[in-house]
Structure 1
C-alpha cells in the first residue's frame, strides 16, 4: 500500500485523543448543566439507562462486522465486504426490537412523570442506531484507507451538534429534558450519516478525474489523492450491496466465520465493559440519583482511559491487523514487520504503564481536590465519591495494560483461537456479574470497581500468556515494556508519600498550595522518566521532524 500504516495509526491515535478530550470536556460540562437544570434523576435515566441501550445495540450489531472487515486492503474483496457490512442494518433492526421491548416492559420503570419521555427515548435511541448502521460502510472505507482527519471532523460535528440541539431544547422546554435528548440523538445521527456519504459523493468522482489526469501527465502535482492508486471504488453506488462487480460468492465464508467469532466476543466484552450498568439497570441496587452520581465519578475516574488508552488501543488494533497475519506463526512471517510490531508493542506497554502508575500515585492524594474543584462541596460531602475515585486510579493501571495487550491479541488471533477465547470470556463475564453483585451488595458501589479489577487481571494474564507463547521462538521480548525502571518507581513512591502528607497538612490551609506541591513532584517524575527513556524521546522527535518536513515539502 502507498500509505504508511504506522504513521496513519499514530496519526489516528493522536487525533482520537484530541477528539476524546473535546468530547469528554463537553460531556462533563453538559452533566453539570443537567444536574443544575433538571436534576440527578434525569441524568441517571439518560446516562445510564438510555445510553446503555445505545451501547448494547451498537456493540452487538456494529462492532463484530466492523472489526472482521478491517483487513489489508490489498487482499480484500471489496464487493464481498460491502455486502457483509450492510448485513448490520437488518441485524441492528432485529436487535432493536428485542432490546426496546426489554427496556420498556421488563426493566424497572421510571417515575410516572418521566415514563412517556423515557419510552420515546428508547425508540429514538433505536432509530438513531439504525441510521448509524447505514453509515458503517463509508466509515469502514474511510478507516481502511486512512481518512483520519475526515473521521475526526465528522465525529466532532456529531458531538457538537448533539450537544447544541440538546441544550437548545432543554432551554426551550425544560419540563421535557428526555425529549430533548431523543431529538438530539436522532438529528445528530442523521448529520453523521449524511456527512460521510456527502464526502464520498464528492471524493470518488474527484479521484476519477485525478486518475485521468495522471494517465496523461506523469509528473502530476501531489495532493490528497496521490496515495490512492489502490482505491477500488469508481462509482458512488458501488458503496451499496450487490452493485460492485464480483466474480466470487456474494459473501466471504472466512469473513463470515470471523464475524461470528467477533459477535460472541462482543457480547462478552459488552458485559465486561458495561457490567456495572447492567447490574444497576437490572437490579435495584442503586436509585437513578445514585446511579447518576456513580456515573459522574466513574467518568471522572476514567479520564485517562477514555482520553488516551482507548484511542491507543483502537489504533494499535488497526496497526497490528496490517502487520501480523492471523493464520501464520511469526517465524514464517516478514521478519522486518514482526520486529517493528514487537518494538511498537513494547513501547506502547511502557507508555501506558507509565501513565497508569502516575495516575495511581496522584489519585490517592488529589481525588478530594479534583472532585471539589469539579462539583463543589455537594459532590464531596459524601466521602463515597472520594473513595470511588481513589479506587478508580488503581483500575486505570489495569485498564492501560489490558487495552494494549488485548488489542494485540484480538488483532492476531485466528478463528479457532478467537472461538476458544470467547468461551473463556463467557466464564469471565459470569464471574464478573456474580462478583459485582455480591461485592456491591456487601460494600456498595466500590464493589463495581473491585469486580472490574478482578476481571481485568484475569484477562491480562491470558493476554500476556498468549503474547509470550507467540514470541517465544523469536528473538523479541515485547513484554519487557511492562517493567518500569527502578529510578522511576522509587520517585513514584516518594512522590506518593509526600503528596499524601501534603493533603493531610496543607489542604486545609490552601488547596492551591497542595496542588502546587503535586505539580512539583509531577515535574520531577516526568523528568526522571524522560532521562530513563531518552532513546524513545529522540526517536519520537525524529519522527516528528521528518513528518513536519514532509508537510513543508508537500506545501
Structure 2
C-alpha cells in the first residue's frame, strides 16, 4: 500500500500509550470519587460484573474476525474482508441475548435495591456492544490504511463524552450510578460510530477535489490535507456503500473459504483466551468467593497494579501484531520468504522483547518497595492497614513482568501461526483455561484474593514456554535468534539489583519517618537504572532516534 508499516505501527503504539494514560487517569479519578461518594458495592457491580459482560460480548464477537482480517496482505478481495467483518454484528446479537440471560438469571446479585438498575445496565451494555461492532468494518479499514490519528482522536472523544454523561447524571443523583454508567456507555458509543461514518463520508466525497492540487479548505491547512491524502491513491473505497456487505451471486463467492477457516481458528482460541484474560472475574461472579465490596477493593488494586500493562504493553502488542501480520506470511517457512522483511521483523521482535522485559523488571523491583507508598498516597493508611492491598499489588508486580514477556512472544506466535497450528494450539489453550480456573478457585480459598494473581502467573509462565518453543522452532533453520532480546544486559541487571536493595532498606527505615525522602531515594535509583540501560542499549536508542527523524523529515518534504 505504499506505506511504512514499521513507522505506522510505532506511531500507533505511541499514540495508544498516551491515550491509555489519559483514559486510565480519568477512570481512576472517577472510581476514587465514586468509592468515596457512592460506595464499594456499586463499583464492584460496574467494574466487575457489567464490564465483564461488555468484555465477553466484544471479545468473542469481534476478536476472531479482526485478527483474521488484519492479516489479509492483499490476499483477499476487499468485499471478502468487509463481508467477513460484518458477521460479528449478528454474532454479537446472539451472544448478547445469551449472556444477558446468564447475567440476569444465573449469576447472583445479592443486592435487591440495585436490581432494576442492574437489569437496565445489562441490556444497555449489550446494546452498546452491538452498536460498537457496527463500526468494526470501518475501524478495520482505518487501521489497514494507517489512519492512526483518526483512531486517537475518536478514542479521546469517546473518553470525554462518556465521562461527561456519567458525571452529569451521577452528580444530579448519586443513587442513579448504574443508570449513569449505562447511559454513558450507549451514548458515547453511538457518538463514535456516527463520527467514523461521517469522517469517511467526508473523506470519500472530497478526496477527488483535493487529490489533484486543489488543496483548499477553510477548516484544514493545505499541508495537513496533503499529508492526509499522501500515499493513499490505492484507497479502494469510493462510496460508503463499499463499507457494507456485498452479495456477488452466491454465498461461496461472497465469502473466502481460507478467511473463514482462519476466523474459526481464532474463534476457538478466543474463548479460552478470554477465560485466561478475565478468569478471576468469572470466578468472582460465579462463586461466592468475595462480596461486591471486596471485589471492588480487589478491582481497585488490580487496576492500579495493571497500569503498566494497560499503558504500555497492550498498545505495543496491538501494533506489533499488526506489524508482524503484514511482514511475515503464515503459510511459508521463514527461509522461503523475503529475507529483508524477515530480518527486519526478527530485529523488531528482539528489540521489543528487550524493551518490555526491561520495563517488567523495573516494575517488579521497584514495586516491592513502593507498593505500600503508592497505596498509602491513594487510599490512606487505613486502606493499607490490613496488609492485603500491599500483598496484592506486590503480587501484581511479578504478574506484570510475566505479562510483558508473554504479551510480545504470544503476539508474534499468533501473527505467524498457520491455520493448522492455530487449531492445534486451541487444545493447549483449553488445558491452560481449565488449569487456570481450577487454580484460581483452589488458591483463592487457600490464599485469599492473592490466589487469583498467583494462578494467573502460573498460566502466563506456561504460555511463555509454549511461545518460546514455537519461535525457536520457526527460526531454527535461519540465522536469526530474536529471543536473545529477552536477555536485558549485565550492567542493567547489576544496577537494578543494587537499586532494589537500597529501596527496600529505605522502605524499612525511612518510609515511616518521611515518605517524601523515601520517594526521592526511589527516583534517584530509577534514574541510575535507566542510565545503565541506556548505556548498554545505546545502539538501539540511536537507531530508533534516526528512524524517527527520517520519518519526520519525510513528512516535512511531503
Deviations 1:494-531 (A, max 9, x none): 11111000001101110000001111111110111111
TM-score by length of 1: 0.97
* Change beyond 3 A, Cα 1:247–1:106: closer
Deviation at residue 230 of structure 1 after TM alignment: 1.4
1:332 matched to 2:332? The reply is no
Structure 2 Cα separation of the partners of residues 433 and 67 of structure 1: 25
Aligned to 1:551: 555
**What SS does structure 1 have at the residue aligned with 2:47?**
helix
- In the alignment, which of 297, 300, 306 is matched to residue 304 of structure 2? 300
Structure 2 Cα separation of the partners of residues 146 and 546 of structure 1: 18
- In the alignment, which of 230, 241, 245 is matched to residue 245 of structure 2? 241
Aligned to 1:168: 168
**What SS does structure 2 have at the residue aligned with 1:107?**
coil
Aligned to 1:217: none
- In the alignment, which of 494, 498, 505 is matched to residue 494 of structure 1? 498
1:22 matched to 2:26? The reply is no
Aligned to 1:124: 124
Structure 2 Cα separation of the partners of residues 191 and 378 of structure 1: 41
Aligned to 1:373: 377
Structure 2 Cα separation of the partners of residues 245 and 134 of structure 1: 24
Aligned to 1:429: 433
Deviation at residue 207 of structure 1 after TM alignment: 2.2
Gaps of 5+ in 2: 215-222
Which 10-residue stretch deviates more, 240-249 or 143-152?
240-249
- In the alignment, which of 540, 544, 555 is matched to residue 544 of structure 2? 540
8 Å contact kept, 1:17–1:307: yes
- In the alignment, which of 387, 405, 424 is matched to residue 401 of structure 1? 405
Structure 2 Cα separation of the partners of residues 277 and 35 of structure 1: 19
Structure 1 Cα separation of the partners of residues 286 and 251 of structure 2: 49
1:457 matched to 2:461? The reply is yes
Aligned to 2:219: none
Structure 1 Cα separation of the partners of residues 555 and 233 of structure 2: 20
Deviation at residue 243 of structure 1 after TM alignment: 6.7
8 Å contact kept, 2:248–2:254: no
Structure 2 Cα separation of the partners of residues 29 and 223 of structure 1: 37
Aligned to 1:207: 207
Gaps of 5+ in 1: 215-219
Structure 2 Cα separation of the partners of residues 394 and 506 of structure 1: 24
**What SS does structure 2 have at the residue aligned with 1:175?**
helix
Structure 1 Cα separation of the partners of residues 73 and 333 of structure 2: 21
8 Å contact kept, 1:79–1:245: no
8 Å contact kept, 1:74–1:230: no
- In the alignment, which of 424, 444, 450 is matched to residue 440 of structure 1? 444
- In the alignment, which of 251, 259, 263 is matched to residue 267 of structure 2? 263
Deviations 1:352-404 (A, max 9, x none): 00000000110010000011112222321221000100111011110000000
Deviation at residue 484 of structure 1 after TM alignment: 1.8
Give the alignment's Cα RMSD to 1 decimal: 1.6
Deviation at residue 485 of structure 1 after TM alignment: 1.1
8 Å contact kept, 1:367–1:386: yes
**What SS does structure 2 have at the residue aligned with 1:249?**
helix
1:524 matched to 2:521? The reply is no
Aligned to 2:293: 289
Structure 1 Cα separation of the partners of residues 273 and 383 of structure 2: 31
Structure 1 Cα separation of the partners of residues 395 and 415 of structure 2: 30
* Change beyond 3 A, Cα 1:480–1:73: closer
Deviation at residue 206 of structure 1 after TM alignment: 1.9
8 Å contact kept, 1:237–1:243: no
Which 10-residue stretch deviates more, 372-381 or 169-178?
372-381
Structure 1 Cα separation of the partners of residues 539 and 86 of structure 2: 46
TM-score by length of 2: 0.96
Which 10-residue stretch deviates more, 540-549 or 188-197?
540-549
Structure 2 Cα separation of the partners of residues 378 and 54 of structure 1: 33
8 Å contact kept, 2:284–2:290: yes
Aligned to 2:114: 114
Structure 2 Cα separation of the partners of residues 248 and 443 of structure 1: 54
Structure 1 Cα separation of the partners of residues 478 and 253 of structure 2: 38
Aligned to 1:254: 258
Aligned to 2:217: none
Structure 2 Cα separation of the partners of residues 313 and 444 of structure 1: 31
Structure 1 Cα separation of the partners of residues 302 and 166 of structure 2: 23
Deviations 1:297-318 (A, max 9, x none): 0011011100000000000000
8 Å contact kept, 2:138–2:243: yes
Deviation at residue 210 of structure 1 after TM alignment: 4.0
8 Å contact kept, 1:73–1:144: no
1:347-358 mapped onto 2 (5 Å cutoff): 347-358=351-362
Structure 2 Cα separation of the partners of residues 17 and 192 of structure 1: 20
Deviation at residue 80 of structure 1 after TM alignment: 1.1
Structure 2 Cα separation of the partners of residues 212 and 521 of structure 1: 56
Structure 2 Cα separation of the partners of residues 547 and 333 of structure 1: 26
Deviation at residue 224 of structure 1 after TM alignment: 1.3
Aligned residues: 549
Deviations 1:150-187 (A, max 9, x none): 00110111111111100110011211110111111110
Aligned to 2:389: 385
Aligned to 1:229: 233
